A = this chain, B = another copy of it.
C-alpha cells in the first residue's frame, strides 16, 4: 500500500467515506477508515459547528473536508452580496416549469419569493468557498479535497501552511495528470457510475488508466471511486492499482445519514439501472436517482438546465418542498424525491449503521483476499 496514505494520513484501512453527515465521519474514522465531510452546503458558521462537534467526538482519529470550487462556472467571480441579482438571471420559463412540475405532483410551489434559494448564498461562489476553507483550516483536518476541477491556490496555500494534504477528484486521465502537475497529493479517480458529479469512463477502465499515467510521472496515490459499496469491490479496486477506495453512496443508506427516510427507502428498492446522469440538479452532469423530477428535466418539454450555480437555486428549494410533502404522505411528492447516488444503489439491501458498514467492508475485504489465495494456488 502506498506509504503516503498510511504515514501522512494515519489511516489503517484505506476506506474513505464522503458524507455530509458528521456522525458518519466520526463512525468511519473511529472504525479505522477515513471520513471526509462534504462541506459545500454549509455556511461558515454551520461548518464551524460541525467541525467542532467532530473534533469533540472523533477521539483524535484522522478526517478530512471536501469543498467545491468548480473551475468552469458562470459567475465564478461574483460577490455573494449580489445573490439577489443572480436570482434575476433565472428565466421565468424555468421558474414556471418548476412550479408546474410541483403542482402536477400535488406539491404546493409556494410563492415566488421562496422559489429561488437566495437566503443562503450558494457556496459555489468563490468568496463563500474561501470562507469555508478558512474555517476548515482552523481544525485538525488531515486532508482537504476539491470535488470538481483543479484546487484553487487558496486551497494549496492553506494546506501547505498547515501540513494538510490536498486531494482532487478526476474523471479522466488528462485531468488526473493536470492535478499531479499542479501539486495535488492524492488523486480520487471517479468512474462514471458514481453518484454526484462524474465523468463518462467507468471505474474498471479509469482506475488502471489513471494509475498507469500517474505512476509514470509521480508517486501520487490514486483512490478509486465509483460504484464501490462493499469490501470486495474495494479489494478489486486495489487490485486495479488504487491505494484505497473513496465511497459516497453507501453512506446515504445508513441510519446516521442526512437523507430522508423516504429516500433511503427508495435506495433499498432501487436497481442499479435506476440512476441517470443529468444536468437537472446543479447545471453540470451529476448522477442521481431517477424520479419524476429527473424524468421531467430529461424529457421533451424540459427548458434545459441552467448553468451552475443557477440551476441549484431553483432545484434545491423545489426538492425540499417535494420531500416535505412526501413526508406528509403526498404520493406525488414521493415520486419527485431524488438525490445524488451512483449505480451502486442496486447493491443496497438495507439501511445499516455507519459502524456496521465499516465492519462489513473490513470482513468482505479480508474474505476477498482469502479468495485470491485460493486463486493463486
- Point out the residues of chain B lying under 8 angstroms from A239, CB to CB: 232, 235-236, 239, 368, 371-372
Q: Is the interface of A mostly helix, strand, loop or mixed?
A: helix
Please state if B203 and A202 are interface contacts (CB–CB under 8 Å).
Answer: yes
A272 CB within 8 Å of chain B: yes
Q: Give Cα A200 to B273, complex, Å.
A: 7
Please state if A233 and B227 are interface contacts (CB–CB under 8 Å).
Answer: no
Interface centre among A192, A212, A236, A344 (most CB of B within 10 A): A236
Select which of B192, B200, B208, B369 is within 8 A of A232 by beta carbon: B208
Select which of B199, B204, B237 is within 8 A of A202 by beta carbon: B204
Please state if B206 and A272 are interface contacts (CB–CB under 8 Å).
Answer: yes
Q: Give Cα A358 to B33, complex, Å.
A: 37
As for how many copies of this chain the complex holds, the number is 2
Please state if A343 and B205 are interface contacts (CB–CB under 8 Å).
Answer: yes
- The count of chain A contact residues (Cβ–Cβ below 8 Å) is 48
- Point out the residues of chain B lying under 8 angstroms from A371, CB to CB: 238-239
Closest to A239 in B: B236
Q: A136-169: contact bitstring with B at CB < 8 Å (1 yes, 0 no)?
A: 0000000000000000000000000000000000
Q: Give Cα A201 to B271, complex, Å.
A: 10
Q: Give Cα A241 to B368, complex, Å.
A: 9
| Shortest Cβ gap from A289 to chain B (Å) | 14
A209 CB within 8 Å of chain B: yes
Q: State the 10 A-B residue pairs at the shortest beta-carbon distance, nearest first.
A: A193-B202, A236-B236, A204-B227, A236-B239, A205-B227, A202-B202, A203-B204, A369-B376, A201-B272, A205-B343
